[in-house]
Amino acid sequence: MPVPHIIFAFIISIVWGINFVVMKIGLDHLSPFLFMALRFGIVLALLFPWLRIVKGHMKLVVAVGLCLGGLHFSFVIIGLQLTENITSIVVIVQMHVPITLIMAHFFLKEKLSYWRGGGILVAFMGVLVISFDPAVMNERIAIIIIFTATIFYSTGAVLMRKLSNVGVFNTQAWTAIIGVPIFISLSLYTETGQIDQIMNVDLTGWGAIFYTAVLSSLVGYGGMNFLLKHHPVTLIAPIFLSVPIFATAAAVIVFDEVLTTRFLVGGGLTLCGLGVIHLRDWWKKRQVVQELLP
């Protein structure tokens, strides 16, 4: 893997890690569903030229867009709104990896090895340790909501694996076109003063919206798709384990959050579990390559 591609992968990890803090800042300027409606509106406006009908697969495209757009981000934004400690949820988000593997095992009939099963068990143990941290006891509702969001994300990821030859920008455009009416409806039903909020948003608020729309959505997911076209997922995925590290560092710097020993232990267990899942795949891939070499 070329060094520039490795650096680019870490840049994406940094962008996604900082995104948690940026979204939390954005919620200080706009109500949650209005914030998401504006984010997806910008994504849709930028990606509309790539929007294409996927013949024979539109039901699946809509299901993917619903899971990854409206449902996933509805719970994410609610969880961020409720939490006071971002570090308590950043590791939970990474649980989409073992959850996706479990779903793929049952619904796609993909084999779940002992190594992967062990990694999943260790990752879940880490989440349990974090959940019983006295510093985040009041964050349990937010943790449950974020975990629910992760389940929707994993469901969308499993469904997406059934789509072939569909560009990432096309998929993101459909996710946006499905998400926009959902978030507008939720905002109109549960929130008030939307026009006044938009008229009074300052540069910090707009910066948060455009960061999540352009950097997190377009650069992040577009860049990941670029890397996946050039390298196997087992080589790229371990780099993205650094996302919660950057997110935690950003939360500590911006919000002065305190990292407890229990959180560090739980977070370490979860990352170790995820590392076992990813690095085992990478090692097997390396062994296969070595066997094929003359």
Give 72's Cβ-side CA count (13 Å radius). 22
**How does residue 209 score in pLDDT terms, banded at 50, 70 and 90?**
very high
- Tell me which residue has tokens 């076209």: 229
Strongest mean pLDDT among 56-60, 131-135, 195-199, 228-232: 195-199
What is the number of domains present in the chain? Answer: 1
Q: What is the DSSP string of 4-28?
A: HHHHHHHHHHHHHHHHHHHHHHHTT
Distance in angstroms (rounded) separating the CA atoms of residues 207 and 125: 37
Angstrom CA distances, 46 to 39, 41, 62, 284, stand at 11, 9, 19, 40
Residue-range definition of the domain harbouring residue 189: 3-292
- Name the 3-class secondary structure at 83: coil
Give the tens place of pLDDT for each residue, 236-249: 666 676 777 788 88
Give the tens place of pLDDT for each residue, 253-266: 888 877 677 667 77
Give the Cα-Cα-Cα angle 165, 168, 174 (nearest 5 degrees).
Answer: 100
Close Cβ partners of 4 (under 8 Å, ≥ 6 residues apart): none
- Name the 3-class secondary structure at 110: coil
Give the tens place of pLDDT for each residue, 17-48: 899 899 999 999 999 999 999 999 999 999 99
Give the tens place of pLDDT for each residue, 131-169: 566 656 667 788 889 889 988 988 887 887 777 677 888
Give the tens place of pLDDT for each residue, 174-199: 999 999 999 999 999 999 999 999 99
pLDDT at 289: 38
Q: What is the pTM of this model?
A: 0.80
